[in-house]
Amino acid sequence: MTIETEDTPDAPPTDAPPTDAARARALLANSSTAALATVAREPAGFPFATLIDVADDGTGRPLLLVSDLAEHTLNLDANAAASVLIAERAADGEPTLALGRVTIVGRVARVSDDELAAVRQRYLTRHPQAATYASFRDFSFRRLEPQAVRFIAGFGRMSWVTLEDYLATGALTAPRR
């Protein structure tokens, strides 16, 4: 990652390590699956988690393609509060608590008709196998609007990333440890 600097004493050095905000954005940008947690209707008020495909909208907001028949979608329609957990995977593909992960907390809403074509293209670029069911009437694109971001770099290394930093930073091309 290259950080542009000005000739001021406050400018970060070009070899500065990536910020937690950039690392969190990289996890979303480079991942294809996440755990989605919604507020259950049944049993009422309890967390309900499921595994979903996810894509980055390019601004750090997770994109989802959900079926109207799915329990998590019914939960979202009743209460838009949700979070996604995205975890870095080891070289062998196995998750490990020594690697990075990010939880993005917010509210999920349907993508507007004005944005639908661009969101569809972005999502299907990440998940081409979803093209068939993306056109089904009972599927819709949703976006999680972040309210809070928790980044964990590994055991004992964690931070709440400010929303301003998270949304303002660009993602790294690959997660770094």
Task: Give the CATH number for residue 160.
Answer: 2.30.110.10
6 pLDDT higher than 90:
no
123 pLDDT higher than 70:
yes
Domain hosting residue 67, numbered range: 20-168
pLDDT band with cut points at 50, 70 and 90 for residue 31: very high
Distance CA 15, CA 27 (A): 21
Q: Is residue 39 part of a domain?
A: yes
Q: Over range 106-127, report the average pLDDT.
A: 98
Distance CA 102, CA 89 (A): 12
Q: Is residue 7 part of a domain?
A: no
Q: What is the percentage of the chain residues whose pLDDT exceeds 90?
A: 77
**Contact present, 84 and 62 (Cβ < 8 Å):** yes
Query: What is the predicted pLDDT for the residue at 3?
Result: 33
Query: What is the predicted pLDDT for the residue at 10?
Result: 53
Q: Is residue 10 part of a domain?
A: no
Q: Is the peptide bond before 43 cis (omega within 30 degrees of 0)?
A: yes
38 pLDDT higher than 70:
yes
Count of structural domains within the chain: 1
Q: Over range 35-40, report the average pLDDT.
A: 98
Give the number of other CB atoms < 10 A from CB of residue 139: 17
